[in-house]
Amino acid sequence: MNLNRVVIDNFRNIAHAEYDLTSRSIFAGPNRKGKTNTILAIYWALTDLLLDGSSDYQSFKPSYIEEAEVSVELVCDTFTLKKVYKGWRPRQQGSGDPGDLQHTTDYWIEGTKYKTQGEAKKALLKLLGTDRQLETSKFDLTRALIDPYYIGQGCDYKTLRSFIVEIIGDVSNEDVFAADPALLMIRDLMSRYQYDPGLAQKFVKQQVAAVKKDIEASEQQVKGLESVQDVDPALLKEAQEALNQIDKQVAGLQVQLSGRDNPRINEAKLQLSDLTLKLAESRTKDMEAVQEHNRQIEAEINRLQKVQQDATWQAQDLIRRRISAENAILGNDQKSASIEQQIAELEARRQERLQEYHTRNAEEYTQPESQKEVCPNCGHVLNQDALESYRSQWEANKQRDLDYIVRQGKQLKNDIENLRFKIEELRKGKVDAEESLPLIKQQIREFEKDAQQAQDSAGQLRKQLSEVVESDQTIALREAVKAAQDSYDNLIKNQQASMADVQAEIQRLDADSVQYHNVLNDHGAYVATQKKAAAMCIQIKAKEDTLIDFEQQSILIDRFLEIKLGLFQRRISSVFGDRVQFTLIKYNLKKGSWDEVCYPSVLDKNTPFEDGSGSEKILTGIYLAECVKRHLGLGDLPYIFDECDKLDTASLAAIPTQAQIITTKVDDVNYNKVTLITA
C-alpha cells in the first residue's frame, strides 16, 4: 500500500496542509515548524497513537483549544481514509450552562462514515492487511510494519517474546532432552519447577549454599576438635610411672598406719579397684551405644526430611495446578459471558441486515408521470428509451444493495459461528478443569499430610538424641563403687592413725599425684575428641558427595538453558536471518539467576537495539519489519519515522525495501518552512 496524498487541518501547529507523496517522501525544514507534526498526523490516522505509543489526543488541538476540530485525510492507492477528532460542551438542562467536555472520533473509509470506532478500526485493519488474529493480542502488527522502532523498543519484552515464539514456533522440552541425553538426570527437577531454568537454578544454588555452609560448620568443629593437643608421650609415661610409685608408697604408709597388713583393707581396696575398672569399661560401652543410637536416629531424621521435602515439592506443584484450574474455571466463564454478549450484538446486527434486505427487496420501481414526455398530437412517449434506462439503473442499484446486504449477513453469520465455536471450546476447558480439580485438591491434602507426618516424626526423633545415656549396669556399678569407696574409707578411718608424720607423708603424696592425674585426664580427653573428629569427617565426606550432585545439577541446568536458547536462535535465524540476534535470557547478577528478556541487536553487531545509533535503529527496524512481512506473507505499508538525518543520503537511498518511506529531516539552510522533498 502506498500513501499518495495527505490533507491535514488543525493538527497542533498545522492549520492546513496538503501534500502529494512519493515513494521516498521527506519533510524538510527548520525545527518547530511542523515536520514532526505532519508525520504524527499520518501515524495517528493509521494507528490511533503517536510515535511514542501514547494517545494524548488533547495535544492534537492547536493551542489546546478544547472545541477545535482536528482532521486528517489520507488518499491511498487502494482506499481513502478520513479521521476527525473534535470536542464540544453540551448545554446542561435547566441552566443552559455548558457541561463537561465531550470528544468523538469519526471515521470515513471510502466516503462511508462508520457508526462506531470499533467497526471502523476493524475495516481499516482489513484494508491494511494487518487484521491477522495473533495469540499475542497486545502485539500491534500495524505499528510493527510502519514504525522501525516498534519491534526494537516500542513494545514490552513479554509481548515481543510471545510474538517471536508464535511466528517461529516454540521449542519443546523434549527437543532439549533429545539434544543431550545427559540432561535426563534433571528431568524430574525441571518438571517440578515447570521447566523454568531460573527457578530450578535458584533452588539448586540454595541447596549448594546450604550444604557448603553445613560443611564449613562441620569442618570448623573438626578443626576445633583436632586442635586439642595430646600430652607429651614422655610426660604421659612419667605420670603413669609416678602414680604407680606413689600408690605403692601410699599403700606401704597405710600399712604402717595400721600397724600391720590389714586383710580387710586389702580386700576392700582390691574390690574397689575391680569395681572402678568395671565402671570405666561400662561407661565406654555406654558411650559407644549412645553414638550408635544417635547415628541411627540422625539417619532416620535425614530420611524423614527428604520425605517431607519431596511431599512439599509435590504439594506445591499441585497447588500451582489447582490455581491454574481455578483460574481456567473463572476465566472461561468470564470469557464465555463476553462472547455471548458479542454474539447477541452480532445477532442483532444480522437481524437488522435481514430486515433491511426484506425492506429493500419489497421496493418497486415507480415512474413519476411528470417524467414522461408525450407527443401532443399522437400521444407517443417521446423519452421512452430514457425512462427504460432510468428503470434499469434503479433495478441495478437495488440488486447491488441486496447483494451488499447479503454479503454483510453472511459475514455476520460466520462471525457468530466462530464465536459459538470459541464458547464451546471454553466450556470444554472449564469441564476438564472442574473434573481434575477435586483430584488435585485431594492429592494436595495427601502430600501435605505426608509432609506434616514426616516433620512431626523427625521432631519426635530429635528429642531422643542424647549426649550421654548411662545404662542400668553403669548406674549400678557407680553405686557399687561409691559403696566400696565408702567401705574402704571407713576401714581406713577405723585404723589407728597414731603416726602423724606418716599421715602427713600420705597427704603430701596425694597432693603430688594431682598433677599426674591431670596428665592422664588430658590424654583421655584427647582420645575422646579424636574419635568424635573421625566420625564427623565421615559425615563431611557424605555431605561433599551431596554437594557434588547439586553442583552437577547446576551445570546441567545451565546446559539445558544453553541448548534451548540455541534451538530458539536457529528458529529465529530461519525467519530473521543471521544479521540480527535476539537475546531471550539475561543473567541477573544481583539475584544470581536467569531472567527472561527479549530484545534484538542492531544489524551485523552484538550491540542491543536500544544502545544502537539512530541510523542503526532505523535500518535494523526496517530489516525486522521486512522479515516479518516476508514470513507472514503481508504486503507493504509505508515506513513512518522521525529525523531521517540520522541516515546519510546513501544509506537512506539503499534501504532494502520496496515500501514507501515517509520521514523528516532538519534543514534550516535550504528551507525556511516545511517542504516535501524526495530522497
Q: Does residue 674 form part of some domain?
A: yes
pLDDT at 623: 95
**Start-to-end Cα distance in the chain:** 19
Average pLDDT of the chain? 87
Amino acid sitting at position 386: A
> Which grid coordinates are listed for 600?
534484538
Higher-pLDDT residue of 79 and 303 is 79
Residues whose CB falls within 8 Å of the CB of residue 101, separated by 6 or more in sequence, listed in order: 66, 67, 87, 88, 89
Q: Does residue 51 form part of some domain?
A: yes
Q: How many residues does the chain have?
A: 679
> Percent of the chain having pLDDT more than 90?
40
Q: Does residue 106 form part of some domain?
A: yes
Residues whose CB falls within 8 Å of the CB of residue 108, separated by 6 or more in sequence, listed in order: 80, 81, 82, 83, 84, 114
> Which grid coordinates are listed for 104?
468523538
Residue 179 pLDDT exceeds 80: yes
Beta bridge partners of 3: 76
Q: Does residue 368 form part of some domain?
A: yes
Tell me the CB-side half-sphere exposure of residue 411, using CA atoms within 13 A: 9
Q: Does residue 319 form part of some domain?
A: yes
| Domains: count for the chain | 2
Least confident of 261-265, 574-578, 635-639: 261-265
Least confident of 151-155, 325-329, 338-342, 550-554: 325-329
Instruction: Pick the most confident of 7-11, 59-63, 499-503, 591-595.
Output: 7-11
Q: Write down the number of H helices and E strands in the chain.
A: 14, 12
Residue 498 pLDDT exceeds 50: no
> Which grid coordinates are listed for 415?
462471525
Q: Which of 444, 478, 494 is the last residue of a domain?
A: 494
Q: Alpha-carbon distance 506 to 241, whole Å?
A: 18
Q: What would the mean pLDDT of 376-385 be, rounded to a whole number?
A: 76
Residue 64 pLDDT exceeds 80: no
Q: What is the pLDDT of residues 300-314, one digit of tens each?
A: 889 888 988 998 898
Q: What would the mean pLDDT of 28-34 be, rounded to a whole number?
A: 92
pLDDT at 260: 53
343 is in which domain, residue-wise?
Answer: 282-494
Cβ neighbour number for residue 261 with a 10 Å cutoff: 11
3-state helix, strand, coil in the chain (%, to 5): 65, 10, 25
Backbone φ and ψ for 551, nearest 5 degrees, come out as -65, -35
Beta bridge partners of 665: 28
Instruction: Pick the most confident of 60-64, 195-199, 324-328, 597-601.
Output: 597-601
The residue to which cell 490516522 is assigned: 45
The residue to which cell 576401714 is assigned: 491
Bridge-based pairing of strands 80-88 and 14-20 is unpaired
Taking the mean position of all CA atoms in its chain, how far away is CA 106? 41
Instruction: Pick the most confident of 15-29, 285-299, 374-388, 482-496.
Output: 15-29
User: Residue 444 to residues 315, 317, 318, 325, 341: CA-CA distances in angstroms?
Assistant: 5, 9, 6, 14, 37
- 489 and 619, same domain (yes or no): no
Vertex 380, ends 374 and 381: CA angle to 5°? 55
pLDDT at 148: 95
DSSP-assigned states of every residue in 571-614: HHHHHHTTS--EEEEEEETTTTEEEEEEEEBPTTS-SBGGGS-H
Strands (E) across 251-410 are located at none
pLDDT at 370: 63
H/E stretch holding 10? strand 3-11
Residue 395 pLDDT exceeds 60: yes
pLDDT at 501: 72
pLDDT at 518: 87
8 A C-beta contact, residue 84 and residue 105 = yes
Give the residue among 61, 29, 31 at the shortest CA–CA distance from 44: 61
Residue 401 pLDDT exceeds 50: yes
- Positive or negative, the CA dihedral 521, 522, 523, 528 is positive
Q: What is the pLDDT of residues 518-529, one digit of tens each?
A: 888 888 888 888
Q: What is the pLDDT of residues 342-378, one digit of tens each?
A: 999 999 998 998 998 999 888 887 776 666 777 777 8
- 619 and 478, same domain (yes or no): no
User: Residue 332 to residues 327, 339, 415, 436, 444: CA-CA distances in angstroms?
Assistant: 8, 10, 19, 15, 24
pLDDT at 588: 66
pLDDT at 59: 75
Q: Which of 494, 519, 553 is the last residue of a domain?
A: 494
Backbone φ and ψ for 643, nearest 5 degrees, come out as 60, 60
**Which residue pairs from 467-476 have beta carbons closer than 8 angstroms and sit at least 24 positions apart in sequence?**
467/290, 468/286, 468/287, 468/290, 469/286, 469/289, 469/290, 469/293, 470/283, 470/286, 471/282, 471/285, 471/286, 471/289, 473/282, 474/279, 474/282, 474/283, 474/286
Residue 200 pLDDT exceeds 80: yes
Q: Does residue 516 form part of some domain?
A: no
8 A C-beta contact, residue 491 and residue 262 = yes
Least confident of 97-106, 148-157, 255-264, 410-419: 255-264
Bridge-based pairing of strands 24-29 and 661-666 is parallel
Q: Does residue 386 form part of some domain?
A: yes
8 A C-beta contact, residue 564 and residue 195 = no
Q: Does residue 292 form part of some domain?
A: yes
Q: Alpha-carbon distance 615 to 635, whole Å?
A: 24
pLDDT at 197: 86
Least confident of 139-143, 296-300, 385-389, 455-459: 385-389
Q: What would the mean pLDDT of 643-654 be, rounded to a whole number?
A: 80
pLDDT at 497: 47
pLDDT at 332: 83
Residue 293 pLDDT exceeds 60: yes
Q: Which of 494, 525, 543 is the last residue of a domain?
A: 494
pLDDT at 505: 79
Residue 539 pLDDT exceeds 60: yes
H/E stretch holding 662? strand 661-666
